[in-house]
Structure 1
Amino acid sequence: MIRKRNIRNRVFKMVSVGVVDEPVNQMYDILSISALLLNLGASVMATFDNLQAQYGDIFHIIEVVTVAFFAIDFILRVYTAKCHFPKETEAGAIKKYIFSLDGIIDILSFLPYYLPFMFPNGAVAFKMFRVARILRLFRINAYYDSLNVITDVIKSKSQQLMSSVFIILVLMLGSSLCMYSLEHDAQPEVFSNAFSGVWWSMSTLLTVGYGDIYPVTTLGKFFGIIIAFLGVGIVAIPTGIISAGFVEQYTHLSTVGDSTDTELNFIQVKITENDDWAGKYIKDLHLPDNIIIAALQRNNKTSIPKGNTLIHEGDQLVLGSEPLQKDKFINFKEMKLEYGHSWIGLRIDELDISRTTFIVMIRRGNKPLVPRGNLVLMEGDVLFLYSVTKAGIDL
């Protein structure tokens, strides 16, 4: 049972984009991204008749192989769904993944390709759903924290954006009804009913202005001018919301480096052949409460050790809290939560923090605390942060 769980955890880390602590995980990410880019490239090239005539067989082979990879990837994600949703039952975790946005995108990445074999009459409709594969590109966000700002802004400003969209829809419907009343008698074939002006109001409000439908009466033209002016302001509302969200998000992320930023001193210990710690797990060391192992270096690779991490001969451990000579693989920072800081009152697992930054210890008063996910941060807490530079992370 334990062996099966360990295998599933390793598979989960492999299919999770951005977990690069082992070569196999890095290779799988490269393979996944390459398959997606090849598939999209072949799909685009196949739309050119001359290329399709000359390289059609190659495009077909690329699609067959990459779609098969997408199907295998989906099966692996179903197999590891329990790792992604540990609080759910086995069936509940699989159901939650399948009906999540990621799960739906994964299904649409391969299933529409195979459905025409069972339902030939729907081949054209099924091809349309294959476009969903391009949404898999958003998984590259796991490598770049800056790209995640886009989704974070949309999530944080979702209520304001929905309000602006609602205002646009109301104004669009209202202007359509008004224009119908003003123009119906003059242009009964153009503004034939209340909804016939929706196209005009949409093109005017959103400043598209195709010119296929336009007012001809004096009042209609005057009203059109007013709507055009309102359209400029209405479109600016969601633009301003998103722009403000970007500024807030980048400012928030920069607080990790811009808050009280000082070097933190630690002590570095190298494990020798005859050391008592060699061959033991971290959890079996029985360290005092005020001593922590903040980082471990092995074969020029730095990781954050867990309780089940086995200490090897030659390992270099970083312990708090005596002076430590500065080493290129260590990047510890100290940050004090002053009054008004956005992290005050949040649990650690709720923090919006970089994927390459970890909280290794918290000092509250004179007491060191282990940064567990359910720990609520308070004003005056001092956070010791470990930032990854070139080293991998043992998650």
Structure 2
Amino acid sequence: MKEHKVHTGWRNRLHEIIYEADTPAGKFFDIALFVLIIVSVILVMLESVDEIDAKYHRVLLALEWVVTIFFTFEYIARVISIKKPFKYIFSFYGIIDFVSTIPLYLSYILAGSQVLLAVRAFRLLRVFRILKLVKFLGEASQLKHALKASRAKIAVFIYVVLILSVIMGTIMYMIESDEAGFTSIPRSIYWTIVTLTTVGYGDIAPQTNLGQLIATIIMILGYGIIAVPTGIVTVEFSKHGKKKKSSDAMTVVHTNTQSCPSCSKEGHRDNAKHCYNCGEPL
């Protein structure tokens, strides 16, 4: 019984350090982790530069192994310090942590897989928790709801744009010659989409007066088309924002960065005694 309590206490302490950002030890761990993630991403970038890699390959590889070993122990610690490890393993952060840990090991089996280490940049999302920027998470959630509410309108809009691209691309294929770059209908549709989005690579350009007139119309349409999805999302975002303000005016809820030791869910109320997700004691 005593051994069980010691084991439980050890796991709770480890969980507090790794998952909590409110304690000094937890904050120190998160900041150290944050710095290592940035260093790791920089190492991957430097390794992709041939001149630097040729001169400092061994140094970069050694540093990358140091970071990888740290992340490996961190991942194992995250798994063993939680009561329901599969909740973490198959969560968003759990998958990101695993994928960002294994590439260097896989590089000995699959050549070039170490470039996947850049996935570690996703781990920088933890800055919201480390710096207690909870309100920004709320804004991100608000944007997600706005995009979800406007998905039908955006889908119809994209459908119309695709039809317009096919029609205009086909017309340009009929008007312009192969010398101008319009060698096929798919290639002409590619030019239409590039022009419509105002990117304009310049690899294909109309030569006839009629073709240039149509290109001008498409470019002008492009400016209006870019503004449409933005307007749709903005309206939904505004609607959701008004609802949120109305709801917040009635109920003020303070949340913290406390993580559930059972399912690792965050965002609990300050006075919460049980997890809102699994019901386990906090």
Larger Rg: 1
- Equivalent of 1:201 in 192, 197, 202: 192
Counterpart in 1 of 2:247?
342
Distance 1:205 1:153, change over 3 A: farther
3-state SS in 2 of match to 1:41? helix
Could you tell me which residue of structure 1 aligns to residue 43 of structure 2? 42
Match of 2:148 among 141, 154, 159: 159
Cα distance between partner residues in 2 of 1:9 and 1:198: 59
Matched, 1:19 2:26: no
Alpha-carbon offset, residue 64 of structure 1: 0.4
Deviates more, 1:200-209 or 1:52-61: 52-61
Structure scoring higher RCO (CA < 8 A, sep ≥ 6) equals: 2
Deviations 1:158-193 (A, max 9, x none): 224634653453234212321233122344644454
Q: Structure 1's 165 and 132: CA in aligned 2 closer, same or farther, altered over 3 A?
A: farther
**1:127-206 aligned within 5 A:** 127-142=114-129, 143=131, 144-145=133-134, 147-149=136-138, 151-160=140-149, 162-163=151-152, 165-167=154-156, 169-187=158-176, 189=178, 190-206=181-197
Identity, % of aligned positions: 26
1:358-377 alignment, distance < 5 Å? none
In structure 2, what is the Cα distance between the partners aligned to 1:360 and 1:215? Answer: 64
Output the amino acid matched with 1:128.
V
- TM-score (normalizing by structure 2): 0.73
Residue 62 (structure 1) aligned with residue 52 (structure 2): no
- Give CA-to-partner distance per residue, 1:338-371, whole Å, 9 cap, x none: xxx314898x9xx6x554899778xxxxxxxx99
Question: Do the aligned residues in 1 keep the contact of 2:147 with 2:233 (CA within 8 Å)?
Answer: no
Are the structure 2 counterparts of residues 109 and 159 from structure 1 closer, same or farther at C-alpha, using a change threshold of 3 Å? same
Displacement after TM superposition at 1:242 (Å): 5.7
Compared CA separation, residues 182 and 251, structure 1 to 2 (3 A):
closer
Question: Which amino acid is 1:182 matched to?
Answer: I
Whether the 8 Å CA contact 1:182–1:219 is kept in 2: the answer is no
Q: Is the 8 A contact 1:176 1:194 kept in 2?
A: no
What is the TM-score with the length of structure 1 in the denominator?
A: 0.55
Tell me how far 1:27 sits from its aligned partner: 2.2
SS of the residue 1:102 aligns to = helix
Distance 1:101 1:373 in 2: 19
Which structure has greater strand proportion? 1
Assess, with a 3 A threshold, how the Cα gap between structure 1 residues 36 and 228 changes in structure 2: closer, same or farther.
same
Between the two proteins, the alignment pairs up a number of residues equal to: 261
Counterpart residue number, 1:103: 94
Structure 1 unaligned segments of length 5 or more: list them: 83-89, 256-340, 362-369, 375-394
Question: Does 1:227 pair with 2:229?
Answer: no
**Could you tell me which amino acid in structure 1 is paired with residue 141 of structure 2?**
D
Note if 1:123 corresponds to 2:111.
Answer: yes
Take 2:147 and 2:68, find their aligned partners in 1: how far apart are those partners? 34
Q: Is the 8 A contact 2:153 2:232 kept in 1?
A: no
C-alpha distance in structure 2 between counterparts of 1:165 and 1:250, whole Å: 20
| 8 Å contact from structure 2 (residues 173, 185) kept in 1 | no
Instruction: Supply the distance in 2 between the matched residues of 1:192 and 1:161 (Cα, whole angstroms).
Output: 37
Residue 247 of structure 2 aligns with an amino acid whose one-letter code is S
Q: Please report how far the alpha carbon of residue 32 of structure 1 lies from its aligned counterpart in structure 2 after TM superposition.
A: 0.7
Flag the 1:373–1:127 CA change in 2: closer, same or farther, 3 A: closer
Larger helix fraction of residues: 2
Are the aligned partners of 2:176 and 2:208 in contact in 1 as well (CA < 8 Å)?
A: no
In structure 2, give the amino acid aligned to 1:342: S
Structure 2 residue runs of 5 or longer lacking an equivalent are: 258-266, 277-281
